[in-house]
C-alpha cells in the first residue's frame, strides 16, 4: 500500500465544487472515477481544500491510497491522458501513509481577481468579478494590510461554517493593479468557509468608498458576519498553491 499525492489545477466553471456530491459533477468526483477505471480499486480521494462551485485552482492537493505498482510520479501522466481538458494533474508523488492534506501545517495562497472597467472583457468573464464603478486601489491596499496577523475571522466566514476554531494567521494580504485588472492575493495557514470571498467583497466596498479602510479592525473585533461585506462571486477566486512545512524548508 502506498499513498500518492496529486497537485491539481482546474477551471471550476462547470463543476459543483471540489467535494464529491450525489447530485452534481465535481472535480474530486471526476478524478476519483478516472482512478477507479485506471486501477480497478475502490478509491477514497482526500482533498486539502474543498473549493466551492465555480472556484478555480492552480494547485489544489489531494491524496489517495493504492496497491498499484504504477510509480507515484507517473500518475500525473496516466490521469492526464483521460481527464477532461479543464482538469490537469500538475504533478504526483509518494507521501507517507500518515500524511493527511488537511492535518499538516501549510501555507495556502489564494488570488481574487476583479475586472474594473466600463465593460466586461469577454475572455476573462469566467475568471474575474466585473465591477464597473471605479475602485480606489490605494484604499483597498490599506484595508487589506489590516488582515495580516493572527485574528478571529468569525465576521469573515459564512454563518454555516462548522469548525471549532475561527482563529487564522494571515502572512500576506496585498492588492495590486495592472491596467483594468485588480488582484487581491492572500496567504495564510488556513481559511474558513467563504472567508476569502467575504474579504474580497468587503475590499470592494472599501474601494467604492462605502466603508473606510480602518473599519476592518472593528469588523474583526465584532465577530459579527453582518458587519462585513457581501460574499464576492465565485468565479473571481483561484486557489494558487499549497505549500506544506517540509516543502517550505526545502525551498528556503
* Closest listed residue to residue 90, CA positions, set 12, 6, 5: 6
What is the CB neighbour count within 10 angstroms for residue 96?
9
By three-state DSSP, how is residue 111 classified? Answer: strand
What is the CB neighbour count within 10 angstroms for residue 25?
14
Calpha distance 56→239 (Å, rounded): 6
Q: Is 52 tagged catalytic?
A: yes
Calpha distance 200→193 (Å, rounded): 13
List the grid coordinates of 47: 482533498
Say which residues have a Cβ less than 8 Å from residue 250's Cβ, sequence separation at least 6. Answer: none
Enter the DSSP assignment of 72.
G
Per annotation, catalytic residue among 11, 42, 52, 165: 52
List the grid coordinates of 73: 510520479
By three-state DSSP, how is residue 87 classified? Answer: strand
What is the CB neighbour count within 10 angstroms for residue 143?
26
Q: Catalytic site residues?
A: 52
Amino acid at each position: 500500500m502506498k499513498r500518492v499525492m496529486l497537485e491539481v489545477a482546474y477551471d471550476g466553471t462547470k463543476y459543483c465544487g471540489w467535494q464529491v456530491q450525489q447530485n452534481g459533477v465535481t472535480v474530486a468526483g471526476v478524478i476519483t472515477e478516472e482512478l477507479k477505471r485506471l486501477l480497478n480499486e475502490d478509491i477514497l480521494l482526500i482533498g486539502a481544500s474543498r473549493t466551492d462551485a465555480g472556484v478555480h485552482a492552480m494547485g489544489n492537493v489531494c491524496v489517495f491510497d493504492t496497491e498499484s505498482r504504477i510509480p507515484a510520479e507517473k500518475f500525473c501522466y496516466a490521469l492526464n491522458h483521460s481527464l477532461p481538458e479543464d482538469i490537469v494533474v500538475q504533478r504526483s508523488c509518494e507521501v507517507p501513509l500518515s500524511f493527511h492534506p488537511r492535518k499538516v501545517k501549510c501555507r495556502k495562497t489564494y488570488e481574487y481577481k476583479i475586472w474594473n472597467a466600463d465593460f466586461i472583457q469577454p475572455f476573462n468573464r469566467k475568471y474575474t468579478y466585473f465591477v464597473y464603478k471605479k475602485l480606489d486601489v490605494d484604499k483597498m491596499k490599506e484595508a487589506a494590510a489590516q488582515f495580516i496577523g493572527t485574528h478571529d475571522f468569525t465576521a469573515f466566514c459564512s454563518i454555516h461554517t462548522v469548525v471549532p476554531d475561527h482563529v487564522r494567521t494571515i502572512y500576506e494580504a496585498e492588492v495590486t493593479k495592472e491596467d483594468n485588472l485588480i488582484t487581491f492575493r492572500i496567504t495564510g495557514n488556513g481559511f474558513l468557509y467563504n472567508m476569502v470571498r467575504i474579504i474580497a467583497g468587503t475590499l470592494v466596498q472599501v474601494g467604492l468608498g462605502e466603508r473606510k479602510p480602518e473599519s476592518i479592525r472593528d469588523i474583526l473585533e465584532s465577530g459579527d458576519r453582518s458587519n462585513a461585506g457581501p460574499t464576492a462571486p465565485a468565479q473571481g477566486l483561484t486557489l494558487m498553491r499549497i505549500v506544506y512545512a517540509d516543502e517550505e524548508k526545502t525551498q528556503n
